[in-house]
Amino acid sequence: MYIIITILIIGIIVATTLIGIFNRFAKLRNMVKDAWSNIDVALKRRHDLIPNLVNTVKGYAAHEQETLHDVVAARNAAMAAPKGDINTQIKAEGELQQTLGKLFALSEAYPDLKANTNFLDLQQKLSEIEENLERSRRYYNSTVRENNTYGESFPGAVFAGMFRYQHFDFFEAEAADKENIDVDFKK
């Protein structure tokens, strides 16, 4: 009789522990996806703003077609990144961020563009979006850190495969984003 009660108690403890571990994996995965959805909203706003920005710059810097083409291509690649694949989207957005930096560097060489109210308004809106993205990235990275730590440490690591643990990449600046942008206007 005592053996049956002991087995029952151990079974309940094991089942409760496994349910807790499974629920924690589900909670962390959903937190990461929620954090990414906040970033995704800001990215869509940025994607919608870029064509207006490119068209404004195009009028002042017509011979800078390569830079304008790169921005449009990076935007299109970022928009085409598979929505379910966060890690691929992060890479594409990093490349877009880098080309946007080159676009804004162009404004330094064109005083009329730099003084254009439409350009300044678009630049301000993009700046606000980037600030929102920065806050969202920090939150996203904290949820990714919590998710990855749990999935790679005990007891999560033991049950990671069984409970469909998903590793997420951090949303970090690309190495090229950390370097100064060199724009040659002597072409």
Q: What is the pLDDT of residues 50-60, one digit of tens each?
A: 898 888 888 77
Return the half-sphere exposure (C-beta side, CA atoms, 13 A cut-off) of residue 39.
26
User: What integer pLDDT is reported at residue 104 of this predicted model?
Assistant: 82
Q: How many domains does the chain have?
A: 1
Domain that holds residue 28: 2-168
Residue 95 sits in a domain whose CATH number is 1.20.1440.20
Q: What is the mean pLDDT of residues 74-103?
A: 88
Residue 179 is classified by DSSP as S
Determine, yes or no, domain membership for 135.
Answer: yes
What would the pLDDT profile of 1-49 be if each residue is shown by its tens digit?
Answer: 899 999 999 999 999 999 999 999 999 999 999 999 999 999 999 999 9
Determine, yes or no, domain membership for 34.
Answer: yes
Determine, yes or no, domain membership for 19.
Answer: yes
Determine, yes or no, domain membership for 6.
Answer: yes
Determine, yes or no, domain membership for 45.
Answer: yes
Determine, yes or no, domain membership for 178.
Answer: no
Determine, yes or no, domain membership for 148.
Answer: yes
Q: Closest by alpha carbon to 93, among 107, 109, 110, 76? A: 76
Cβ atoms of 129 and 46 within 8 Å: the answer is yes
Determine, yes or no, domain membership for 182.
Answer: no
What would the pLDDT profile of 163-184 be if each residue is shown by its tens digit?
Answer: 888 888 888 765 444 444 443 4
pTM score over 0.75: no
Q: Cα(5)–Cα(72) distance, rounded to whole angstroms?
A: 68
User: What integer pLDDT is reported at residue 1 of this predicted model?
Assistant: 85
The CA R_g of the chain, rounded to the nearest whole Å, is 24
